[in-house]
C-alpha cells in the first residue's frame, strides 16, 4: 500500500499544470476573473490531497485517512451527496518551530495547512479557502472565489516583460499559498513589469528537501539566471549522496556572487551551540536587523528564513524601483 501510494504521489506531482498548482490540477478561467476550480485527481486507490512530506489521502471507499511521516494527526471523513465532511481533524508539529494544520474541513469549509494555526498573521493577504467542495468516488473538487490567478499562456505570451521570476516555492512552508498570492498580486498590479512563472519543486523530501526548496526559492528571487546551474548542483550532490553540506556550499556560492547582499536570507550568527531553534519574538528579530518576517530558523551558524512572504515582497519592490 505504501509503495502504491508513493508511486501515485510521484505520478501526480510530476504532471505539468496550466496554472499555479498546489495540491492537484487547476482549471483556470481568465486571469482577471476572480474564480477558479481545483480538481484533486484520484487513481483507483486514493485521492492525493497533499504531496511531499505530509500526505493526506482519501481512499475511494469514501473514508478519509492521513499519513504524515510523524503520525501525529488523523482525519476521518465521508463523501455523501457530493459533500465532503470531516468528523475529526488533527494538528501536527512539523518539527521546525511552526505548528500547522495540514487540512481542516468542516462540511463545505476548507482551511489549508498552516492557515488554521496562523490565521491572524495572514489576514492582510486574505483567505484562500474554497467556497464549496464537491466529491465523487474518484475525485474531490474544491471551488474557489478569491485572488486573480495567473494564466501561464498569458505570461509566456508577454515577451516584453522586463522581469522574469521563476519561483521554486516550498510547498511545505506554512506561508506557501500566501507567498503565491502575494506574487500574483504584484503580477496583477504590474502586468507590464513582472513575468512570473511558478514551478512546483520538491526534488527530495524531508529536512534536506526543505533546505533545497528554501535555497531554490531565494536564488529564484535574487538571481533567477543562476537557478538552472544550482539545480544541476543539487541533483549531482544528491546522486553523490553528499547531503546538506554540499547543498549549503552550492547556495553560498551563489550568494557570494550576488549584488543584493542586503537581501540575503542567510545571515552569519555567533551560535556556538549549533542547535536548531525557532525565534518568533519580534524584538529578537529586530535585533538581528530583520523585520516583517514571521519566523526563521537558526541552524548552526546560519539563519534561514522559513516563511519568506515579506522577503519576496521586498525583493519585488527593489526590482520595481
Please give the chain's pLDDT, 321 residues, in tens: 333 332 222 222 222 222 333 333 333 333 323 333 333 333 333 333 332 222 333 333 333 333 333 333 333 344 445 444 433 333 333 333 222 223 333 333 333 322 222 222 222 222 233 334 455 444 444 443 333 233 332 223 333 333 333 344 455 555 455 555 555 555 555 555 444 444 333 333 333 444 444 555 555 554 555 555 555 555 454 444 444 444 455 545 544 443 323 233 333 222 323 333 333 333 343 343 333 333 333 333 233 333 334 444 444 444 444
Residues 120 and 39 in one domain: yes
- Is the same domain home to 255 and 121? no
Contact between 85 and 105 under an 8 Å Cβ cutoff? The reply is yes
* Domain boundary residue, one of 145, 179, 194: 145
Residues 171 and 314 in one domain: yes
Q: Any idea which residue has 516584453 for its cell?
A: 160
Do 210 and 250 belong to one domain?
yes
Whether 138 and 253 map to the same domain: the answer is no
The answer on 44 and 109 residing in a single domain is yes
- Tell me which residue range forms the domain holding 131: 10-145
Same domain, 140 and 191: no
What grid cell was written down for 142?
Answer: 474544491
Q: Residue 184: its pLDDT value, please?
A: 56
CA distances from 7 to 14, 40, 125, 310 (A): 11, 16, 35, 36
Q: Name the pTM for this structure.
A: 0.20
Same domain? 141 vs 157:
no
Tell me: do 113 and 193 sit in the same domain: no
- Same-domain pairing of 17 and 130: yes
Residue 288, in any domain of the structure: no
Q: Is residue 174 part of a domain?
A: yes
CA–CA separation, 77 vs 243, rounded Å? 39
Q: Is residue 3 part of a domain?
A: no
119, 145, 171 - which closes a domain: 145
118 shares its domain with 160: no
For residue 95, being part of any structural domain is answered with yes
Supply 208's cell numbers: 534536506
Residue for cell digits 474544491? 142
Return the number of other C-beta atoms located less than 10 Å from residue 6's C-beta: 12
Structural domain total, the chain: 2
Decide if 227 is inside a domain: yes
Based on the fold, state whether residues 135 and 61 are members of the same structural domain.
Answer: yes
Give the C-alpha distances (Å, rounded to integers) separating 39 from 105, 120, 262, 309. Answer: 16, 28, 41, 26
Q: Does residue 36 belong to any structural domain of this protein?
A: yes
Domain assignment of residue 289, yes or no: no
pLDDT at position 159: 34
How far apart are alpha carbons 176 and 166 in whole angstroms?
15
For 107, left (φ over 0), alpha (ψ -120 to 50), or beta?
Answer: left
Task: From 104, 128, 145, give the residue that closes a domain.
Answer: 145
53 inside domain: yes
Give residue 313's pLDDT: 47
Amino acid at each position: 500500500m505504501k509503495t502504491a501510494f508513493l508511486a501515485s504521489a510521484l505520478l501526480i506531482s510530476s504532471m505539468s499544470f496550466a496554472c499555479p498548482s498546489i495540491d492537484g490540477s487547476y482549471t483556470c478561467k481568465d486571469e482577471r476573473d476572480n474564480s477558479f476550480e481545483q480538481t484533486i485527481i484520484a487513481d483507483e486507490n486514493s485521492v492525493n490531497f497533499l504531496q511531499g512530506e505530509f500526505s493526506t489521502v482519501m481512499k475511494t471507499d469514501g473514508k478519509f485517512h492521513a499519513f504524515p511521516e510523524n503520525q501525529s494527526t488523523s482525519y476521518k471523513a465521508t463523501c455523501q451527496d457530493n459533500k465532503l465532511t470531516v468528523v475529526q481533524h488533527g494538528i501536527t508539529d512539523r518539527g521546525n518551530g511552526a505548528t500547522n494544520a495540514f487540512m481542516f474541513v468542516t462540511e463545505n469549509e476548507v482551511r489549508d495547512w498552516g492557515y488554521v494555526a496562523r490565521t491572524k498573521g495572514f489576514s492582510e493577504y486574505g483567505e484562500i479557502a474554497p467556497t464549496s467542495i464537491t466529491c465523487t468516488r474518484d475525485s474531490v473538487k474544491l471551488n474557489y472565489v478569491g485572488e486573480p490567478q495567473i494564466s501561464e499562456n498569458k505570461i509566456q505570451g508577454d515577451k516584453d516583460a522586463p522581469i522574469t521570476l521563476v519561483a521554486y516555492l516550498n510547498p511545505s512552508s506554512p506561508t506557501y499559498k500566501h507567498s503565491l498570492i502575494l506574487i500574483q498580486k504584484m503580477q496583477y498590479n504590474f502586468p507590464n513589469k513582472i513575468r512570473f512563472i511558478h514551478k512546483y519543486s520538491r526534488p527530495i523530501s524531508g529536512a534536506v528537501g526543505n533546505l533545497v526548496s528554501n535555497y531554490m526559492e531565494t536564488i529564484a528571487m535574487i538571481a533567477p539566471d543562476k537557478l538552472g546551474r544550482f539545480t544541476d548542483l543539487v541533483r549531482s550532490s544528491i546522486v553523490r549522496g553528499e547531503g546538506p553540506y554540499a547543498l549549503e556550499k552550492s547556495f553560498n556560492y551563489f550568494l557570494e556572487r550576488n549584488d543584493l547582499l542586503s537581501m540575503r536570507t542567510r545571515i552569519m550568527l555567533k551560535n556556538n551551540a549549533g542547535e536548531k531553534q525557532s525565534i518568533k519574538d519580534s524584538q529578537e528579530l529586530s535585533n538581528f536587523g530583520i523585520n516583517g518576517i514571521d519566523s526563521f530558523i537558526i541552524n548552526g551558524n546560519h539563519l534561514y528564513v522559513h516563511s519568506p512572504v515579506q522577503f519576496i515582497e521586498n525583493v519585488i519592490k527593489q526590482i520595481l524601483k
